[in-house]
Chains A and B, each alone.
Chain A
Amino acid sequence: MADSALHDIPSVYEPSLFGTYSKKIGMWLFLLSDSLTFGALLYAYSYGRISTANWPTPFHSESIVNATIMTAFLLTSSLTMVLAVRASVDHNAKAQTLWLLATMACGAGFIILHGREWSNLIAEGLTLPMFPKVLGHEAASEFVNVSQTVPQFASTFFTLTGMHMLHVTLGVIYLGVVALRRKFIPILLVLWLVAWLTTPAYSPFHYGAHVLLIAAIVCAIILWLKPKVYDSSDVEVAGLYWHFVDLVWMFIFPLVYLMSAKIL
């Protein structure tokens, strides 16, 4: 890394206020701003929930169990991320890549479970008015009723979890670039094709898959502009992002799922 230009002459600058390197400060600042972005969404959620007299609590045990497993995936991924950072500090390139891949695998598991959950809920009738209709499927579950009587429920559910899912997806891609660099771009393209072709046209993921395509293009541009070997500071900064996304889930899981669980 070209950082050396400055490592050689450290006395040219005032010591940083937080005694750390720019990229890390930059990431902390991004996370600060992102937490306000999520904060605003959570505020919108609370606003809707408080101002609605009979907020529905329709999540049955399958949803809760599923979400708990998702949570476990994320918690595990935080652990593997820590191990990846540790490996990078020890200059153990192989372990670093492996732990990063493990983290990505957990993230991918989370996304897949979550995607399945979304699809099930949509099939059961929890939808937004403009979601394409599920063909040949007449749902008659409680969710149909919920979507009609309290539209806020589906709106906030899909917005909050969707925004978070987007963050996890971008996180997996971020880690993929750090771990594999150029080799990750073809993988990303394959993933995009798979996600796009295997999802039915009415599914939000059919369109959502294009996030992967856009990400592949952006990553390609970045790697072309700045071809470099990522060092331990890059892994650490990526880790900050990853832990933050986990942390956000620790708000969404209780607020969106547990507090709307059906208790018999």
Chain B
Amino acid sequence: MATHESAAHASHAHGAPQGFIRKWIFSLDHKVIGLQYYFLALTAVFVGMFLSLLMRIHLIWPTATLPFFGEIKPETYLSLLTMHGTIMVFFVLTTAPQGGFGNYFLPIQIGAPDMAFPVLNMLSFWTTFLGFIVLLAAFVVTGGAPLHGWTGYAPLSALQSAGPGEGLGADLWITSIAIFCIGALMGALNFITTTLDMRAKGMTMMRMPLTVWAWFVTAILGLLAFGVLLSAGILLLMDRNLGTSFFVPLVTVNGQLTGHKGGSPLLWQHLFWFFGHPEVYIAILPAMGMCSQLLSVFSRKPIFGYKAMVYAIMAIGFLGFMVWGHHMFMSGMSPYTAFAFSIMTMGIGVPSAIKTFNWLGTLMRGRIRFTSPMLFAIGFVSLFVTGGISGPFLAQPVLDIYLHETYFVIAHFHLIMGVASIFGIFAATYYWFPKMFGRMMNEPLAKLHFWLTFVGAYAIFMPMHYYGMSAGLRRYSQSTEVAFILKLLPIQRFITIAAFITIASQFIFVINLFWSMFKGAKASDNPWEATTLEWITATPPPHDNFGGRTPVVNNGPYEYSVPGAPRDFVMQSDPEIKPKH
């Protein structure tokens, strides 16, 4: 017979903690920890966005001096893009959807009073927080932030002498990544255990909302991928500080031998991308789950093909570990290996397409309510398709030889991973805000925010495809020095202007968020008429989520418009119905 971890219940048995520190800072409550993650990501995204703005300004006004960084030298530009990428991938896209919303809503949606290991949960947040501080510290140390990009390719990343930011700054960068790995591992372990072990009576695996499935599979990916990145980070730190040569061959810097020999930069690439490709799915899977959820709620229809969705999530997770080589087509890989990776990569397109068609199928003939969360969910589908279509092009080794290291790749992954995942976060924010804060967000502002961001995202990233196809290089700051790149400058101008407008419109969101927290209209317990368990409890949920009882689940998560039911939705905890479809 199953027994359960005590800590959750022990801490809840004593009632809600009193005092500011125990309640908001070192809280063991998954809801508070979720909010902590969310606001960490919100802070991080503004730092990251600011850095991207500086890069955009530099690209079209190369001589302009910028706040904080002064005159931008080529190496400063590299620092900016490294920190931008690292902050965004780790501390935004990995943090908000999983650490933030996952923490807050996974236990509630399965009917649990908390995570399986609340102390571990708290530690995982504070570890992540520490990682962020260490990363930011790289800006202020001598030499500044590292230059090696978010992918940290060796030997650049492995040699202290390789450039101005590659001294202490790079050490801080790697340390931050390693710390982040540990935090993410603790979180992943907690998510999986909670899902396996703390589901309320009747919440069978196949009755879990797709959000829970997405968080669950994401956690599995994290558990397997971050362990490898941790090792890679340790080896890199050793190369830098103990003089080992895992990643460094016999090279010279400024004509000086470095003292390293025999290592292989490709080893870093293998280890990094073995983590890196699953990581991109870690960023997108929770958004996929939220999107599935919202499309069903606001189309007032069951999700199209629930089982297919579940299997597609699993297939994506599984295949995600087999395709890392598609980032290395240009590394001198054997054409046969490249071919194998190419086939596998295209294979991932299949479950992705299944999901896309199921989303469209859910929308079809639905009684759609165009609320702001729904708009963002639809926007997500649009961006996922647009960004996904460039994937199979890149997956052709022959095409990739040309497209690799151009803006085409930037366009691909910003649309599909960056903006799409951010849309998932926005959708989730607008959707769950009433539950989290007990108030509604301002709808007209939200819609304005949606349209500006949606059009803005396309305006920024679509032109990058053309820029890339015209051989415009990524990670290259000299936009006026080279004749053929100079000809492309109008594209860069257009992008920068679009970026200005899009970034400015994000303040609409922030203002709406904080204003609604205090001044928004009071929300009812179930404003969207949704079926999952978070909507049966009070708003905001009490300390133990369900006020001393544990719900019993009788229905699947997507019973909308059930013939013969009294309302057009049947809560998961309502008496069992026998759906006819």
Contact surface of A with B, Cβ cutoff 8 Å: 1-3, 5-7, 10-23, 25-26, 29-30, 32-41, 43-44, 47-48, 51-52, 128-131, 150-152, 154-155, 158-159, 163, 225-226
Q: Which of B94-116 contact A (CB under 8 A)?
A: 116
Chain B residues near A32 (CB, 8 Å)? 223-224
Chain B residues near A131 (CB, 8 Å)? 242
B267: shortest Cβ distance to chain A, in Å?
Answer: 5
Chain A residues near B202 (CB, 8 Å)? 14
Residue B5 lies at the interface, judged by CB distance under 8 Å to chain A? yes
A13→B189 contact, CB < 8 A? no
Classify the interface of chain A: helix, strand, loop or mixed. Answer: helix
Select which of B5, B226, B232, B243 is within 8 A of A129 by beta carbon: B243
Chain B residues near A154 (CB, 8 Å)? 244
Inter-chain CA distance A225–B13, complex, in Å, is: 16
- Interface flags for B196-236 (1: CB within 8 Å of A; 0: not) read 11111111110000000000000000011011101110110
Inter-chain CA distance A16–B205, complex, in Å, is: 10
Chain A residues near B238 (CB, 8 Å)? 128, 155, 159
A159→B2 contact, CB < 8 A? no
B227→A52 contact, CB < 8 A? no
Chain A residues near B116 (CB, 8 Å)? 22, 25-26
A15→B260 contact, CB < 8 A? no
Inter-chain CA distance A177–B303, complex, in Å, is: 50
B245→A151 contact, CB < 8 A? yes
Select which of A11, A29, A155 is within 8 A of B244 by beta carbon: A155
Kindly report which residue of chain B lies nearest to residue A204, judged by CB atoms: B242
Select which of B9, B203, B227 is within 8 A of A36 by beta carbon: B227
B4→A33 contact, CB < 8 A? no
B245→A152 contact, CB < 8 A? yes
A159→B3 contact, CB < 8 A? no
A56: shortest Cβ distance to chain B, in Å?
Answer: 12
B88: shortest Cβ distance to chain A, in Å?
Answer: 24
Residue B482 lies at the interface, judged by CB distance under 8 Å to chain A? no
Q: Give the A-B contact count at a CB cut-off of 8 A.
A: 169
A37→B3 contact, CB < 8 A? no
Inter-chain CA distance A26–B117, complex, in Å, is: 9
B227→A15 contact, CB < 8 A? no
Classify the interface of chain B: helix, strand, loop or mixed. Answer: helix
Kindly report which residue of chain B lies nearest to residue A11, judged by CB atoms: B201
Inter-chain CA distance A37–B13, complex, in Å, is: 37
Chain A residues near B2 (CB, 8 Å)? 10, 13, 15-16, 19-21
B201→A13 contact, CB < 8 A? yes
Inter-chain CA distance A206–B70, complex, in Å, is: 44
Q: Which 6 pairs of residues, A with B, have the shortest CB-CB distance?
A: A129-B243, A22-B5, A40-B231, A155-B244, A36-B227, A2-B10
Select which of A5, A37, A226 is within 8 A of B230 by beta carbon: A37
A33→B231 contact, CB < 8 A? no
A38: shortest Cβ distance to chain B, in Å?
Answer: 8
28 CB contacts below 8 A, A to B, read A2-B9, A6-B6, A13-B198, A14-B199, A14-B201, A15-B2, A22-B198, A23-B5, A25-B116, A25-B192, A25-B196, A26-B5, A29-B188, A29-B223, A33-B185, A33-B189, A33-B224, A34-B227, A37-B228, A40-B227, A40-B232, A48-B262, A52-B262, A128-B244, A129-B242, A130-B241, A151-B245, A151-B260
B267→A44 contact, CB < 8 A? yes
A22-B117, A29-B189 known; A12+B246 contact, CB < 8 A = no
A44-B246, A47-B267 known; A21+B3 contact, CB < 8 A = yes
B31: shortest Cβ distance to chain A, in Å?
Answer: 19
A33→B226 contact, CB < 8 A? yes
Kindly report which residue of chain A lies nearest to residue B1, judged by CB atoms: A10
Chain A residues near B185 (CB, 8 Å)? 30, 33
B246→A225 contact, CB < 8 A? no
Q: Which of B260-275 contact A (CB under 8 A)?
A: 260-264, 267, 270-271, 274
Chain A residues near B74 (CB, 8 Å)? none
Inter-chain CA distance A40–B247, complex, in Å, is: 14
A22→B242 contact, CB < 8 A? no
A3→B228 contact, CB < 8 A? no
Q: Which of B1-45 contact A (CB under 8 A)?
A: 1-7, 9-10, 13
A6→B4 contact, CB < 8 A? yes
A129→B259 contact, CB < 8 A? yes
Chain B residues near A25 (CB, 8 Å)? 116, 192-193, 196-197
